[in-house]
Structure 1
Amino acid sequence: MKRYSRQTLFSPIGVDGQERLRRKHVLIVGLGALGSSIAETLTRAGVGKLTIIDRDYVEESNLQRQLLYSENDAMERMPKAEAAKRRLNEVNQDVEIHSIVGDADVPLLERLAPNIDLIMDGTDNFDTRFMMNDISHKFHIPWIFGSCVGSFGSTFTIIPGKTPCLQCLLKKLPMRGQTCDTVGIIAPAVQMVTAYQTAEALKILSENQWALRNTYVTFDLWQNQTLSIKADSIKNADCYTCGHYPTYPYLQYEATTKTAVLCGRNTVQIRPATSTNCSIAVLADQWKKAGYKVSANPFLVSVLKDEHRMVLFKDGRALIHGTNDITIAKRVYHSLIG
């Protein structure tokens, strides 16, 4: 097919590989900077079907790095999943796009999983990534982790039964706790991460698994640093997700972040699955440097973000004041906490 002629000329894909791409179904969770770039690349590549999920809407601050969206999308506050679908249909009508405006929660992921060939990480928080990690292993679906903030990015390809999972990885290679709302981000860092992610995706979808990278890659474009770490040895036989006796803990209710609308207070409470010991002083300093109005005492920190105020307690529990909408509350929470 002429449309894909340059891609089929690339011998590892070829005509047969292109036909394999056409038969595949990819789930993209999150349509921010990473997810929107992934979605466009895979749509242009001719992947047969994409299911795209996002709970958020387009804002003006997204336009600097989220390539699928327009100023009109931001002015209309279009849900990202719908705005992305509209643009992707303009890019390639041969690709079936199924959009979902909402949370990627456990029931939804379990319902979608049996028909998925690959999961792509476009999220901005580890709650969702841990669920994706468990879904991946429970249903034996490969998934590709990606993360970026500032000029820093990282990515890792996870193949159930072969590679370490995200839980194994985090025990040895702790991630940064920063967010785009606190330290910013430059668009080239996004494009570098998605270049790695989508290259790996094309290998899996065209059935060229022999070419997959077996390292965790991290880089800082501003500091001109790149590190590739061989990860095979960190796979943990006792891991609850990928070990010999998996229990998939993040698919259990007890391991999920709990939310509750506080009656009559225009406030949503968000409580992490496990109690933490937040560093109030560190967070207060980080948010002040980002330009937010912050106050703190030894027990909690309060931060004002736009029209919402978040109060975070030392145990990780947060109150988001100024909304009864759980989706909005989660967006505020994750933009500040990561």
Structure 2
Amino acid sequence: MKKKYLVLSLSILTAVIISYFLFDVFETKNKNTSSQATNLSKGSKSSTIIDKNNNIKIKIPSSEIFSYNIYKDIIYMSIDENSKSKLGNKIIQYNIKTKRKSNLFTTKFESSSVQGIKANNNWVTWVDADDYGEQKNIYAMNTNTRKITAITNEHDTTIDNGFPALRDHYLSWIYYDKNKNKSYVMLRDLNKKTNKNIFILETFGPENSRVSFVNNKILFTDQKKGVSYCYIYNISNQTLQTFKVPYENIGMATILNDHQFLYLRFYSDRYFDNKVVLYDIRRKKEKEFSKQYMNVSKLVVDSQNHVLIGTGDKIDFDKYEVADNTINKIGKINENNIFDLQIENGVYMIEKRPRNSNIGTELIISKNLP
């Protein structure tokens, strides 16, 4: 049950778009504004990608957008093309400048959920899963050669892969071996095609099912004998830093900068009984964002020390700015009906699901803090 909760909670945050054969690319002028609308298909109900950087709207013939990522002018998307599960069964890429699309991958499951897309200048990675999340295959594609490689054994029912984080030519993720009942923090060198176990975890659950990967550092959490720890593994020199935490239950750890990271402190078995804690490595001190429970469901940071916190059902996102030893609330994100928020390669991606059932998902992309 623990793993199913993890699968459901992770897959709720991920996505699906459009049909490959229905794309009909053309450009029209918006009569009311100076923006341009690029229509990928003639769908009766569509979603919209709103590119605020180029003042362009891209219509997507799908009521929902599930998994997505962006690198420079290319948007990678998981789409539904006659999918039995009504979830993602293909990955396509769309070039904003050329308005061209190409098909990258088709699921290997009869009833699928393709999700967890990550991208950079040389690599695109994703997770191909069955719709129940019992099997999860991780793949990586070199954007120069277009060659796709499986990261672990495909359709191996004895393992459970978490969602990987991508930096440069490395992948890191949590790997659970069902036969051994052991969890591992894994590192993949995409150039050398080698997997390495860098840490054996004592616990495995929704709280520590992910890693944070920034530059050459991987942050993850664990619990031993009722005591929680944060760990930072440095790829460059293969060293491990250990930080004992004065709380019993923590998780969702996120690197903020070179000397600070964040995590959630949990007060009970209820996931939303939590608050955000800032840890300063130089001072070796913790600082809580609030004296009260914060009901955090989403924790996102950017490269400018901004912390974006989604609470409850994530309709509201609060904005904070962290200095050396101060935490300042600077407002809220000025958008309604926010379902999810990601920051990918310096681009803010806000997924909105309007309450009007006749309107599909809106995905707003911008280089500016919303």
TM-score (normalised: structure 1): 0.30
More helix by share: 1
More strand by share: 2
